[in-house]
Amino acid sequence: MKRSLLTLGLSCLLAMPMAQARSIPDPHQKHAPGNEAEQTPIAQAGYSNATNYQLQCAGCHLSDGAGSKSNDVPRMLGFVGNFLKVDGGRQFLVRVPGMSMSALSDAQLADMLNWLLREDGMAGKSMPADYKPYTAEEVAGIRHETMLNLPGTRAQLIAAMRRQGIAIDDGMGD
């Protein structure tokens, strides 16, 4: 019994380098047929705001902004504009890791935020009356300030909204 376990263990050790070698990309591998062109970075691709949202945000917030309570992702649909009604909320939207660390340029990020925050868009009726669109310069000045405690920062903003009497309908419950 001991001998067979030892033999099995040695066989696994000898096979391991071959298994690992298969997972290492071949630097000489050619592109798949029809995909020979170099990939264009997202910041240079000129995608629409809707496409940028799908690439940068929809993976968590879903394609319609509904979020997912089971995955601890809040709803943006009909709610996200409320962040602009409390101190620090405007900066928060830029500093959310999915935004601040996205592959989008500062101008693209500002455009996408403005697109999300349209009253006929994701924000809906949650928008403040005095909304001022984001600019590329504003985004550039904010996005590199690291947010060390996303849940804590968000909780403080939600508490500030509650103090203003804003109904919290972000799909997360209490």
Q: What is the CATH number of the domain that holds 94?
A: 1.10.760.10
Domain count for the chain, please give it: 1
Q: Please indicate whether residue 82 or residue 19 has the higher confidence score (pLDDT).
A: 82
Q: Please indicate whether residue 8 or residue 69 has the higher confidence score (pLDDT).
A: 69
Does residue 17 have a pLDDT over 60?
Answer: no
In a domain, 26, yes or no: no
Domain that holds residue 78: 48-174
pLDDT in tens, 145-173: 888 998 999 999 999 999 999 988 877 77
In a domain, 22, yes or no: no
Does residue 28 have a pLDDT over 90?
Answer: no
Does residue 143 have a pLDDT over 80?
Answer: yes
pLDDT > 90: percent of the chain: 41
In a domain, 87, yes or no: yes
In terms of average pLDDT, the best of 60-64, 89-93, 147-151 is 89-93
Does residue 45 have a pLDDT over 70?
Answer: yes
Does residue 16 have a pLDDT over 80?
Answer: no
In a domain, 18, yes or no: no
pLDDT at 132: 95
Q: Model-level pTM greater than 0.95? A: no
Measured CA distances, 48 to 16, 44, 111, 145 (Å): 46, 12, 9, 26
In a domain, 108, yes or no: yes
In a domain, 106, yes or no: yes
